[in-house]
Structure 1
Amino acid sequence: MQLPFDTIISDFSASALDRDKTRIYQAICDQDEVSRKRLAKHLSMRPTTISTLVNELIKDEVVEEVRTVASSGQGRPEVVLAPVRDRFIVIMLQVVSRTIRCRLVDMSGSLLGEEIIEINRDEADNSMILAATESLIEKLIANTPERSEILGIGIVVPGIIDRQNRLWIYSARWPRMQALPFDEIGEKFGLPVGVNRNLNLELRTRLLRKKEEREGSVLLIHWGYGIGSSYALNGSVIESSIGSFGEFGHWTVDPSSMRQCHCGESGCLETIASLWSLLPELRTIYPVVPSEETAFEAFTRENDISELPMIERAVDAFALSLANLNKAVFADRIVLTGPFVNIPSVLKRLESRFFQHLPHYAHGKCQMYVATLGAFDITQGCVMPFFEERMRTIFTAHDEAR
C-alpha cells in the first residue's frame, strides 16, 4: 500500500521544506539500501538539508537507522534508512456476510492482528453488535505493538449509512439493527471513527487506480450474498441524503410473491437472485454449498450450477433489474463483481439478457466487464485517510518551528 504523496502536500500553505521532507520519506519507502548520501544524490538536494530532514523523520519515529554498509565511494560507512511501517496503525472493522472482522493494519497494508465473530441474524440488535465490536477491538488493542500509535477506527459496512454522522442506518442482513451510532465506539476508545458503505468505498478506491474511469459514468454492481450498486459521475461517487444509492437488490420484482426478504418486504430481487436466498434450494442438491462468497466462488469452479432452473431464473431477474437500473443512469461503464459473474456461462447469459433489454439508441454506448475488487482495495480505501492526515502533520512540522 502506497501513501498518495502527491496529494498529502497539495495545499498552498505547504512550504518548500515540507515538500522536500515528503520527497525524502517517499524515497526511503521506495528504495532499498538508501542512505543520506544516496538520498542527496538521488534527489539532488544539499547534504545538510537531507541530514536535517532525515533527523526529523527519525525523531518522529517514522524512519529508523537499520544497519551500516560500506560506502559506495570513499569515506565512512553509510547508514541504511528504512520506514517504520508499524509506527502508525488503524483498526479496520468490516462486515462480511454475517461476520464482523476486525483488523490491525499498518502503513504498508500488512495485517498485524485479526479478530472475527459471527452474529446471529435474529438476535442481532444495536446492543449486541456494539458489544461484539467493542470486544473485538479490545482484543486487538491488547496486542498492539508498543511503538505503534493507533490513529482511528475505519468501518466498512453494507446497507444504508449516514457517513457524516457515523450512523449505520440499516442493513437487510440484520434487520433488528436500526441507526447504530458508531460514535459510541469512538468515545469508548478515545479514537476518531470513519464510516463507509462498502460498495461506495470499493468504487472510490477503484477510481484512484483507474484514471480513465474518472471521466463519464461508472456503475459498479455486486452480485453475491446480497445485491447492490454504487455509481460515480466524473470521478465522484454519488450518495443520497439518507446515505444510500442503488439498493436495487430490494426492488420489488414480483409483487405477487409471498417470500419475505431480509429487508422485511416481499418479492424483492434478492429473494430470487441473491446467494442467501438461493442457498436452501442449492443445498437440496449440494448439501455443502458455502455461504461465504469467496468459498462459494471456489465451489462453483468445481460444480457447474449454471443450468439449474433456480440459477437461470436468478440470471433473468437480475439482468432485467440491471437493465432498468441502467435506464435511470445510462452508465458509460458497468463493472460487475461477485461470485455469480465469475461463472462464465452465467456471465454469458447475463450479458445476452441485459443487451436484449437495452434500448436501441443506447447500443454501443455502454461497456460491461467483470472486475475483481479484492480485500486489499477495501483495506486501502478504509485506512488510507487516517494515514494521510497523520503524515501531513509529520511532513509539515520542523524542528526549528517546535
Structure 2
Amino acid sequence: MQKYYIGADIGGTTIKMAVITEDGSIVEKWEISTNHKDEGNHIPEDIQSSLKSKLVELGIQKEQVLGIGAGAPGFVNADSGFVYQTVNIGWRNFELGSILNEKTEFPVFVDNDANLAALGEKWKGSGENSNDLIAVTLGTGVGGGIIANGEVINGVNGTGGEIGHITVIPEGGAACNCGKTGCLETIASATGIVRLAEEAISKNPETSLVELSSNGLTAKDVFQAASAGDKQAREVLDYVTDVLGMTIANLAIACNPSKIVIGGGVSKAGEDLLIPLRKAFDQYALPRTSEACEFVIAELGNDAGVLGGAFLVKQNLGLE
C-alpha cells in the first residue's frame, strides 16, 4: 500500500500544504489563507479541515499517511513541537505539535520554517543529500538553517540557525524586527538592500537609482542598476556581499559545510550575487574550509518547506 507524508509550511499570509510520496514526489499541493483570528488559535483546525477534504478528494486512507511535518516562522522546540513565538501570526507559547496531532490524529513533527527549507533542499534540491550544509534565505528578512552531521541545529530553546540575527554592526546599526540593532537581516535582506540604496540616493542624487525609486525601489532594481554600471548601486551590493560573505565564512569555520545554499527572492540575481559573495567568503574563510565548500542557488522555491516537512517525518520515523 502506498504511503504518504504531509508537508505544511505555515506563513503569515498563507499555509502551503502538500501530499508527498515516500520518495519525495509531490502528489498534490495547495494553499489556504492563514487565519489570524484569536491570535492564530484556529490554524490547526483549518489545517485539519483542509487536509481531510484533500485526502478524501485524492482517495487516500488515514492509514496511508505516515505523518505531518509542519514549519512555523519563529522559535520552535523541535523535540516537542512547541512554538515559543511567531511575530507575524500571533502565537506565543503555542502547543502546535500536540494540538495538530489531536486534531488530525496523525504523528506531527514541527520545526522552524527555515530549517524545513534547508531539509527540503538537502533531500530534493541543490543540497544533494549533503549532511553538512548552510541554507540562507534572502527575502524580506534573512532566514537560515544549519545541518550538521545530517541533523538540523536547533539549539537548547529553538534559536539555533537564526542567521539573520547575527550582529554584523555592533554600534549604530539599523533596528531589526527582533528588537536588536545591526542584525545581518538589516543589511542582506531585500528590505536591507533597499534601505542602503535609499541612503545612497540621499548622498548621490546623480545615481540612476533616483529614477528607479520613483516607482518604489526594489532589490532587483539595485542589482539591475549595478549590472548597468551604476557606481552607487555597485557600492551598495559590494558592501552587502562583503558583510554576508564574512558572516557565512565565520559560520562555515564553525561547522565546515560542503554546501552553502542561497535561496529567497534576492537569490534570483544568480551569478550577480554568487560571484561577489563567493569572493568575500573566500577572503574570510579558512582556505581549507573554503576549498571543501560549494555555493549553489536553491532549486525548490516555494516547495522547499513542504518537502522539508515530509523529510522531517521521514527522519523522525527512522525511514531515511
With normalisation by structure 2, the TM-score equals: 0.71
| Secondary structure of 1:256 counterpart | coil
C-alpha contact 1:161 1:169 (8 A) present in aligned 2? yes
Structure with greater contact order relative to length (CA < 8 Å, sep ≥ 6): 2
Q: Name the CA distance, whole Å, in 2 between partners of 1:271 and 1:175.
A: 21
Residues 81-118 of structure 1: per-residue CA shift (max 9 Å, x gap): xxxxxxx766543134x323143526452226431238
Q: Contact conserved, 2:20 with 2:26, CA < 8 A, in 1?
A: yes
How far did residue 249 of structure 1 move? Answer: 1.1
Residue 388 of structure 1: how far off its partner (Å):
10
1:237 to 142, 147, 152: 152
Alignment match, 1:314: 240
Q: 1:131 aligns with which of 42, 54, 67?
A: 42
Shift in CA distance, 303/363, structure 1 to aligned 2, threshold 3 Å: closer
Q: Where does residue 78 of structure 1 map in the other structure?
A: none
Secondary structure class of the residue paired with 2:42: helix
Deviations 1:278-310 (CA, angstroms, capped at 9, x unpaired): 4567798163567xxxxx8xx569944665254
State how 1:33-44 maps to structure 2 within 5 Å. Answer: none
1:149 matches 2:72: no
Distance 1:305 1:285, change over 3 A: farther
CA distance in 1, matches of 2:238, 2:27: 40
Q: CA deviation at 1:166?
A: 0.6
> Residue 287 in 1 paired to residue 215 in 2?
yes
1:203, 1:220 within 8 Å by CA — same for their partners in 2? yes
Unaligned regions of 5+ residues in structure 2, if any?
Answer: 199-211
- Classify 1:279/1:235 alpha carbon distance in 2 versus 1 (closer, same or farther; 3 Å): same
Deviation, structure 1 residue 167: 1.1
Using the alignment, how far apart are the partners of 1:138 and 1:280 within structure 2? 41
Q: Distance in 2 between matches of 1:266 and 1:224?
A: 18
Q: Which residue of 2 aligns with 1:114?
A: 31
The 3-state SS of whatever aligns with 1:179 is: strand
Query: Is 1:105–2:19 an aligned residue pair?
Result: yes
Residues 255 and 267 of structure 1 are in contact (CA less than 8 Å); yes or no, is this contact kept in structure 2? yes
- CA-to-aligned-CA distance 1:121-142 (integer Å, 9 cap, x gap): xxx9xx4222245335434534
Greater radius of gyration (CA): 1
> Quick one: distance in 2 between partners of 1:215 and 1:388?
14
Does residue 275 in structure 1 map to residue 202 in structure 2?
Answer: no
Summarize the Cα distance change of 1:257–1:160 in structure 2 as closer, same or farther, 3 Å threshold: same
For residues 269 and 211 of structure 1, what CA distance do their matches in structure 2 show?
24
Matched with 2:139 is 224
Give secondary structure in 1 for the equivalent of 2:291: coil
Query: Percent of counterpart pairs with the same letter?
Result: 22
> How many equivalent pairs are there?
291
* Distance in 2 (alpha carbons) for counterparts of 1:212 and 1:135: 32
TM alignment of 1:2-401, pairs within 5 A: 92-96=7-11, 98-103=12-17, 105=19, 107=21, 109-111=26-28, 113-117=30-34, 127-135=38-46, 137-142=48-53, 144-145=55-56, 147-150=59-62, 151=65, 152-171=67-86, 173-174=87-88, 177-182=91-96, 183-208=98-123, 217-257=132-172, 259-278=174-193, 285=213, 287=215, 303-304=224-225, 308=233, 310-343=236-269, 344-360=271-287, 362=289, 364-383=291-310
The corresponding residue for 1:67 is none
Question: Following the alignment from structure 1 to structure 2, what is the Cα–Cα distance between the partners of residues 301 and 282?
Answer: 7
TM-score by length of 1: 0.59
